[in-house]
Structure 1
Amino acid sequence: MDIHILKSSIANRQSSITITGSKSESNRLLLLQALYPQIRIENLSNSDDSLLMQKALTSNAEVIDIHHAGTAMRFLTAYFSIQNNQEVVLTGSSRMKERPIKILVDALRDLGADISYLENEGFPPLKIKGKKLSKSKVTLKANVSSQYISALLLIASRLENGIELTLDGKITSIPYIKMTLSLLDELGIKSEFKSNKISVQAHVSSDKSQTLVVESDWSSASYFYSIVALSELNTEITLTSYKKDSLQGDSVLAEIYKEFGVATKFKDNSIALTKSSNIDSQLSIDLDLSNAPDIAQTIAVTAFGLGLECYMSGLHTLKIKETDRLVALKIELEKLGAEVEITDATLHLKPSSIINSDVSIATYKDHRMAMAFAPLGLRTSLTIKDADVVSKSYPDFWNHLKSLGFNLK
């Protein structure tokens, strides 16, 4: 399904949107619930990824296909490695078979796991024979994806002797590691994170029932920050449900978007985003997104829509996402008239006063490409190809844009 966005404006200067739970928190809690069934979860994400995670954790199938869900692939690789006497094949889409998993598999093998590759060495699909893991010390490269680290931490309390994890190199996406440890803490699982070492103690489960509420997704909120930034002064959009002391790394949006003239006000588990000031066209944005790479696409498009120069670093993990997001951003922004330079870890967007109209944006089977470019409908007409890819993380996205006044065909 393609969606054509005719140049639009916000119909109601004060609007309200309800976004479901964070995919990142939901998938972590779903795995922990499988390990500790007394957990109850509220406000789960309705994303494809979380639905696939739920299905996989409750399935008795010998072959589990997680399609494009990278988080699920990593978390489930760890989970099934400790399921005694259970054997599964974990596979995914053609793109998933190109996404590396060797670093995690090597770490699990060091702990004693029985995992083999069925096609290409270092990539899914995987054959996993679940067993009891008694080893506890392991070293992991820290500069690739924090999901490898979180996968180990999530199963750590069910290892016979817990885990002592040494991180080798510069640690990427620290907020996501802290999110995992905070969720363990809520369950009474003790951990320690000092310098480049993380330890998690083995945990004896109690029968005490516990309900955990998932905060709404900050990555999804990023598109509304972009919409407000590209809107007229005093436009306000309220989003629920959000916490000021969020566990999510992407909550840094509230600080970053001050530079784009967007103010954030926290009240009663919601955030009100207001276009509070216009931006000096000479402004240059310089950001290190090592801890929040998933919002890079949104920021790049916002900056382009406002005609600003933008330099972003810390983006090395974007090359192994649903697509190579740095290459994809360069190609699609340049269609619109931008001048973009990229390396393996940086993106430099040069200021431009031109936005080409009626451009067709390819999404590369990447949900964030579709949603990041949609706010440009406030500045020009464009087409988003394969727009239903948004269901991976945010199935309600297009309906929410319609409710704001976007003219979608």
Structure 2
Amino acid sequence: MNYFQPKPISNFNATIDIPGSKSITNRALILSALSGKTITLKNILLSDDTQYMIKALRSLGNKIEYNESSKILKIIGNKNPKYDNIDLYIGNAGTAMRFLSSYLATGTGTATLHGNSRMNERPIKDLADSLTQLGVKVEYLNKFGYPPIRITSSGVWATSVKIDGSKSSQYISSILMAAPNFKNPIDISFIGKVVSKPYIHMTLTMMKDFGASFTLKENSINIVPKEYNLSEYLIEGDMSSASYFLAMSLISNSTITLNNFFKNSIQGDSKFLDVLLKMGLTILDFKEYSITVKGTSSYKGIQLSMNDIPDVAQTLAAVALFATTPTKVWDVENMRIKETDRISALKNEISKINGDFIEFKDGFLINPKPLEMYQGDFLETYDDHRMAMSLSLIGLKVPNIKVLDPSCVSKTFPNFFEEFNKIYRED
């Protein structure tokens, strides 16, 4: 049986290296492809999700070279690609499925996008509906509203489109990034309660850095056709990945320095630092590309909407188990359509250790217990990288926690457990 068993520990000092951002890497790859130019991407993340994206882009005529030691990738983009009955497999990489759909729309041909069994359970109808409005033909090859899908396009000539962002902001980001390569100026309107808004802001920031021109309105964006024009781009450290070590510091009352942590991050998950600061974490030092934080021996729970930062809700769940007061999270119903139903999965695993987890449709409530009331157990990870990384934090306090299938972290943070084990080696 393959598992990772963390050991309880406290009051340590460690230095952790955070990988490049998955979200930014995949956006940068798509933007580079759309540019049609030669672009150098620095500090990229090479993980399952980004490798699926790279493989697909190569299949679509983009020339890509990667230097593993320097983490530098050179891409010669293929603007408005032409493709003929091409088949693209993207595993369970949600960003690849969604971003590639709109990239295909800017080109000419027919392509099939498909993934693993879980990807086929993750809805894509809202994006497909918007692509249909743009004049792109989208066919469901199995279940209506879900991958696999077949896309047929001859470019986009439409001047307006509506997007429902209530399930995923990636639908919006997908069309936004492709829009400068459409044939006409276009008004992109948002309908429904848009989730994870900081990811949309991140997309727009990157588009502007790459040279796009757009006008922001209250519930829409107007984008004019314009070539992306950039030669080099630096990718930030991943703030979702950093969340586990920020939480580790608080839980274990320890001092941790995180390298590749950008002070002026464009990532929404950087807000998780503010959440932990309210709970009792302390910043000892904050430089442009690193931060040092210190935990505390006792901290209170917190109650908040995590609609803007749902990917770190699991991290907070682990922190909440050891607080002195309850923690309540709401506005994160889209956690249910991620790599797994993350709310139900958290309930299953926290219940195994005798935790008090109350499940809501759009969130959860955790009532902490005295440490001695928790018990060790084998914890399932559901082939979900964030389940594995967040559940491992429980073992900092509770003996005999065994996190199953730890290799699933390769989706976004391949060497997570190597970095985790640094806490047992440093003084």
Q: Shorter-chain-normalised TM-score: which range? A: over 0.9
CA deviation after TM superposition for structure 1 residue 10, in Å: 5.5
Instruction: Tell me, yes or no, if structure 1 residue 31 matches structure 2 residue 30.
Output: yes
Q: Which residue number in structure 2 is paired with residue 53 of structure 1?
A: 53
2: CA distance, partners of 1:82 / 1:5: 47
1: CA distance, partners of 2:2 / 2:378: 9
Tell me the TM-score normalized by structure 2. Answer: 0.89
SS in 2 for 1:103: helix
Instruction: Tell me, yes or no, if structure 1 residue 334 matches structure 2 residue 374.
Output: no
% of aligned pairs identical? 35
Cα displacement string for residues 89-120 of structure 1 (whole angstroms, at most 9, x for unaligned residues):
10000111111100000101101112211111
Q: Which residue number in structure 2 is paired with residue 370 of structure 1?
A: 388
What are the equivalent positions in structure 2 for 1:140-179 lying under 5 Å apart? 140-179=163-202
Q: Which residue number in structure 2 is paired with residue 350 of structure 1?
A: 367
Tell me the TM-score normalized by structure 1. Answer: 0.93
Q: Which residue number in structure 2 is paired with residue 312 of structure 1?
A: 329
Q: 1:159 to 1:357 in 2, by over 3 A?
A: same
Is there any run of 5+ residues in structure 1 with no aligned partner, and where? Answer: none
CA deviation after TM superposition for structure 1 residue 358, in Å: 2.8
Contact 1:165 1:199 in 2 (8 A): yes
Q: Which residue number in structure 1 is paired with residue 287 of structure 2?
A: 267
1: CA distance, partners of 2:163 / 2:111: 24
Q: Which residue number in structure 2 is paired with residue 197 of structure 1?
A: 220
Contact 2:164 2:190 in 1 (8 A): yes
2: CA distance, partners of 1:154 / 1:204: 11
2: CA distance, partners of 1:382 / 1:338: 13
What are the equivalent positions in structure 2 for 1:244-263 lying under 5 Å apart? 244-263=263-282
The farther-off stretch of 30-39 and 104-113 is 30-39
CA deviation after TM superposition for structure 1 residue 203, in Å: 0.5
Instruction: Tell me, yes or no, if structure 1 residue 222 matches structure 2 residue 243.
Output: yes
Cα displacement string for residues 360-408 of structure 1 (whole angstroms, at most 9, x for unaligned residues):
11111110000001112211221111110000010010111112118xx
1:41 partner amino acid? L
2:19 partner amino acid? T
2: CA distance, partners of 1:162 / 1:366: 39
Task: Figure out how many residues of one structure are paired with residues of the other and give that number.
Answer: 398
Contact 2:264 2:288 in 1 (8 A): no
4+ residue runs over 6 A deviation: none
2: CA distance, partners of 1:62 / 1:19: 35
Contact 1:254 1:263 in 2 (8 A): no
Q: 1:344 to 1:192 in 2, by over 3 A?
A: farther
CA deviation after TM superposition for structure 1 residue 214, in Å: 0.4
2: CA distance, partners of 1:211 / 1:4: 38
CA deviation after TM superposition for structure 1 residue 6, in Å: 4.8
SS in 1 for 2:302: strand
Contact 1:221 1:239 in 2 (8 A): yes
Contact 1:133 1:159 in 2 (8 A): yes
SS in 1 for 2:349: helix
2: CA distance, partners of 1:377 / 1:163: 51
Q: Which residue number in structure 2 is paired with residue 82 of structure 1?
A: 106
SS in 1 for 2:5: strand
CA deviation after TM superposition for structure 1 residue 291, in Å: 0.4
Q: 1:388 to 1:156 in 2, by over 3 A?
A: same
Instruction: Tell me, yes or no, if structure 1 residue 303 matches structure 2 residue 320.
Output: yes
The farther-off stretch of 323-332 and 169-178 is 169-178
2: CA distance, partners of 1:366 / 1:334: 18
Q: Which residue number in structure 2 is paired with residue 71 of structure 1?
A: 95
SS in 1 for 2:181: coil
Q: Which residue number in structure 1 is paired with residue 298 of structure 2?
A: 279
Greater relative contact order (Cα 8 A, min sep 6): structure 1 or 2? 1
1:279 partner amino acid? S
Q: 1:96 to 1:6 in 2, by over 3 A?
A: closer
Q: Which residue number in structure 2 is paired with residue 399 of structure 1?
A: 418
The farther-off stretch of 285-294 and 161-170 is 161-170
SS in 1 for 2:23: helix
1: CA distance, partners of 2:328 / 2:56: 39
CA deviation after TM superposition for structure 1 residue 357, in Å: 2.9
Is there any run of 5+ residues in structure 2 with no aligned partner, and where? Answer: 61-84
2: CA distance, partners of 1:4 / 1:318: 24
Contact 1:10 1:405 in 2 (8 A): no
SS in 2 for 1:62: strand
Contact 2:320 2:327 in 1 (8 A): yes
Q: Which residue number in structure 2 is paired with residue 41 of structure 1?
A: 41
Q: Which residue number in structure 1 is paired with residue 128 of structure 2?
A: 105
Q: Which residue number in structure 2 is paired with residue 184 of structure 1?
A: 207
SS in 2 for 1:291: coil
RMSD between superposed Cα atoms in Å: 1.8
2: CA distance, partners of 1:311 / 1:129: 45
Q: Which residue number in structure 1 is paired with residue 73 of structure 2?
A: none
2: CA distance, partners of 1:348 / 1:334: 13
Contact 1:78 1:155 in 2 (8 A): yes
Q: Which residue number in structure 2 is paired with residue 383 of structure 1?
A: 402
CA deviation after TM superposition for structure 1 residue 62, in Å: 2.0
